[in-house]
């Protein structure tokens, strides 16, 4: 499991749906956001994995690297065990350069219409391969956002996946209960914006 789903996809997509204005942080530069994220997870025992090329190997399924999870595809698909990764990895953190200018995940038409779409950008991600899961991921997300990035709690929306009967997907009540146990008000996460991002794994 990755905080990418909690930190990048879920809260930002929820914010997009709810029309929440971006938090101003004029004193922060992109390198500050990147280094803070990487250092935080390295302190939590994550191994830093450098960005792979934006031009994936032949047969990778995409013309360009379009998500932070792309370089870990063999691990997600079970083609290689974490212990056989070079070097072996159970916790990883990365900052992956991504391009979205065509194909299924083409963001060109959305650039300029909101604050979350770009054609060339970096995805920050933390990954657990058979190590921690939802409880630890939620706790780390909370500490990163509030203690390191100093984002005010009243500007954050903690979400959980609501499920969908038509797709045979159950609601993620475990994550809902975790957020509630940490003392947060929880909002249901809409399916319509979730499916497109999940399909990046395939």
The band of 61, judged by pLDDT with boundaries at 50, 70 and 90, is low
Task: Give residue 183's pLDDT.
Answer: 86
Q: In 3-133, which ranges are continuous DSSP H helix?
A: 3, 10-18, 30-43, 73-76
Mean pLDDT to the nearest integer, 126-144: 95
Residues 70 and 201: their CA atoms lie apart, in Å, by: 7
Closest CA to 13 of 116, 106, 102, 108: 116
The number of beta carbons lying within 10 Å of the beta carbon of residue 47 is 16
**Range with lowest mean pLDDT among 3-12, 21-30, 85-94, 152-161:** 3-12
What is the model's pLDDT at position 8?
36
Confidence band (pLDDT; 50, 70, 90) for 150? very high
Residue that is written with structure tokens 């450098």 in the block: 50
What confidence score (pLDDT) does residue 189 get? Answer: 66
Distance CA 153, CA 142 (A): 9
Q: Is 115 helix (H, G, I), strand (E, B) or coil?
A: coil
Give the up-direction half-sphere exposure of residue 65: CA atoms within 13 A in the CB hemisphere: 20
Mean pLDDT throughout 131-150? 94
Q: How confident is the model at residue 98 (pLDDT cuts 50, 70, 90)?
A: confident
Strands (E), 108-200: 120-128, 158-161, 186-189
Apex 106 CA angle, 103 and 107, nearest 5: 175
Average pLDDT over residues 4-9: 36
> Once rounded to an integer, what is the mean pLDDT over residues 194-202?
38
Mean pLDDT of the chain: 77
pLDDT surpasses 80 at 48: yes
What domains does the chain contain, in order, with CATH numbers? 3-201 (3.30.930.10)
Average pLDDT on 24-47 reads: 88
Phi-psi region of 127 (alpha: psi -120 to 50; beta: other; left: phi over 0): beta
Q: pTM score, two decimals?
A: 0.74
For residue range 169-190, what is the model confidence (pLDDT) as tens digits? 899 999 999 999 988 888 776 5
């Amino acid at each position: 499991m990755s905080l990418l789903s909690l930190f990048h996809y879920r809260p930002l997509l929820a914010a997009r749906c709810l029309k929440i204005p971006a938090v101003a942080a004029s004193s922060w530069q992109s390198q500050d956001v990147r280094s803070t994220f990487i250092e935080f997870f390295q302190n939590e025992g994550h191994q830093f994995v450098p960005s792979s090329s934006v031009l994936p190997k032949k047969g990778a399924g995409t013309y360009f690297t379009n998500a932070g999870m792309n370089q870990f595809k063999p691990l997600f698909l079970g083609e290689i065990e974490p212990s056989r990764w070079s070097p072996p990895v159970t916790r990883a953190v990365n900052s992956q350069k991504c391009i979205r200018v065509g194909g299924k995940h083409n963001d060109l038409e959305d650039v300029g219409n909101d604050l979350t779409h770009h054609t060339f950008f970096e995805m920050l991600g933390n990954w657990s391969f058979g190590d921690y899961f939802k409880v630890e991921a939620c706790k780390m997300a909370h500490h990163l956002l509030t203690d390191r990035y100093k984002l005010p709690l009243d500007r954050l929306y903690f979400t959980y996946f609501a499920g969908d009967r038509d797709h045979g997907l159950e609601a993620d009540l475990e994550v809902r209960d975790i957020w509630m146990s940490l003392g947060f008000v929880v909002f249901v996460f809409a399916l319509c914006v979730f499916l497109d991002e999940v399909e990046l794994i395939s």
